[in-house]
Structure 1
Amino acid sequence: MKYLIIIIAFSFTFSCKSQVVSLETMAQCMQDNPPFPCPNIFTYVKDVNNTLNKYVGTWKGIYDGKIYEMNLLKKENVDVDGIVKEDRLIGRLRITTTGNLPLIIFDNFNEPDDTKTNFEGLGLTSNLQSYSMFFSGPVTSGCINYGKVFLMIKPANPNTLNIFFDGNYDTVMGECPNTFKTTIPEKQNIYLTKQ
């Protein structure tokens, strides 16, 4: 009887552990030519190597006469689809003009609900060099103001965060005014310093 309990406990522990997949494993198995297939059954994509920790905090920098301030939080066990949970970053962004009387261009820093920031983690890139997030700014009819923000921190410079916004190119109805600009400048490297 004693051995039967040990075997059942071992089997339960093994099956529970097999349901956890690392962020790195998911990033690499989801690429076009994966080095290995994705696991068939998993319920938790976990930051087992604490990879997300280096992104957590407040970051600030200036680009093209605007101050970009970003706050990134690590959230664990976020429900993805009712079955799978994952660890991910949730972001908040404030953009203001420089000068004595700065104007607020965008600000969701005080949004208490993480699901309403429109700035949430998607996962590590397949080369494991950066982390991608979905961002959506204010809607202007006929224009696209959403896409992926890539976050990169080089090991040699852990206090500098490089952000790069790549807008989504969906088809939209209507004509976008030629004066429209995305909230985060598209295809530009913006460097922020950890505060």
Structure 2
Amino acid sequence: MKNIITLFLAFLAISCNSQVVSLEDAAQCRDNPNCSVNYNYVKDINNTLNKYVGIWKGTYNGRVYEMKFNKSLYNDMGMKKDELTGRLRITTTGNIPVIIFDNFNEQDDAKTHFSGLGLTSDLQGYRMIFAGLVPSGCINHGTVSLGITSGIPNQMKIMYWSNNDIVVGECPSTFSQTFPEQQEILLMRQ
């Protein structure tokens, strides 16, 4: 199978200078040091992102996580890619919910700081980068992995990993990351 994909990618590289490749091909090429496909547009040819689009909601540790994912086109200096952009609202559970984080109604994708990195190399999930509010000395940005189990299209599992950055100063003891570190959260399509 790898040889077929490698041959296919090689054929794509030779066939034209300005290439369009699928999300799947780009994901498999990203982790392959022998891949030399030259492309300028990573396109959702197979509509793979559609299964993530919509509003998702779940609870974890006394918090309600509500996420909205849209498909968008990232375009920077001639390099384009179809990606997911996200919106996030976190509230406490209970009769009178308290808003912990909310960018749900932000119109500008760049201001949500929640955007797509691409499919995982095994093509079983999608990765996004997230950056929340950060007091001095704290880390509140990293990768969010999304996964929808085949056969259960209305259920999504997410998990967050912080970036390993060097910080300056002491993080306040009252600080809490937007997402819990490496904890699976189950969301249901709304």
TM-score (normalizing by structure 1): 0.86
Q: What secondary structure, in the 3-state scheme, does the structure 1 residue paired with 2:166 have?
A: coil
**Which contiguous aligned blocks of 4+ residues in structure 1 show a shift greater than 4 angstroms?**
none
Distance 2:147 2:36 in 1: 24
Q: Do structure 1's residue 183 and structure 2's residue 183 form an aligned pair?
A: no
Identity of aligned residues (%): 58
Distance 1:38 1:89 in 2: 25
Q: What secondary structure, in the 3-state scheme, does the structure 1 residue paired with 2:39 have?
A: coil
Gaps in structure 2 of 5+ consecutive residues: 1-14
Contact 1:20/1:43 (CA < 8 Å) preserved in 2?
Answer: yes
Counterpart for residue 86 of structure 2:
91
Distance 2:33 2:105 in 1: 42
Q: How many equivalent residue pairs?
A: 176
Contact 1:28/1:35 (CA < 8 Å) preserved in 2?
Answer: no
Contact 1:132/1:150 (CA < 8 Å) preserved in 2?
Answer: yes
Distance 1:35 1:82 in 2: 24
Q: Do structure 1's residue 59 and structure 2's residue 56 form an aligned pair?
A: yes
Q: How does 1:24-103 map to 2 (within 5 A)?
A: 24-31=24-31, 34=32, 37-39=35-37, 41-76=38-73, 78-79=74-75, 81-103=76-98
Distance 2:150 2:121 in 1: 18
Distance 1:175 1:28 in 2: 40
Counterpart for residue 104 of structure 1:
99
Q: CA deviation at 1:124?
A: 0.6
Radius of gyration: which is bigger? 1
Q: CA deviation at 1:141?
A: 0.8
Counterpart for residue 188 of structure 2:
193
Counterpart for residue 137 of structure 1:
132
Contact 1:130/1:153 (CA < 8 Å) preserved in 2?
Answer: yes
> What does the per-residue CA deviation read over 1:54-98, in whole Å, with 9 as the maximum and x for residues that have no partner?
00000001110111000000013x20x302100000000000001
> What does the per-residue CA deviation read over 1:144-195, in whole Å, with 9 as the maximum and x for residues that have no partner?
0000000000112110010100000100111112332210111000000000
Q: CA deviation at 1:36?
A: 5.4
Distance 2:140 2:33 in 1: 34
Gaps in structure 1 of 5+ consecutive residues: 1-13
Counterpart for residue 113 of structure 1:
108
CA RMSD of aligned residues (A): 1.4
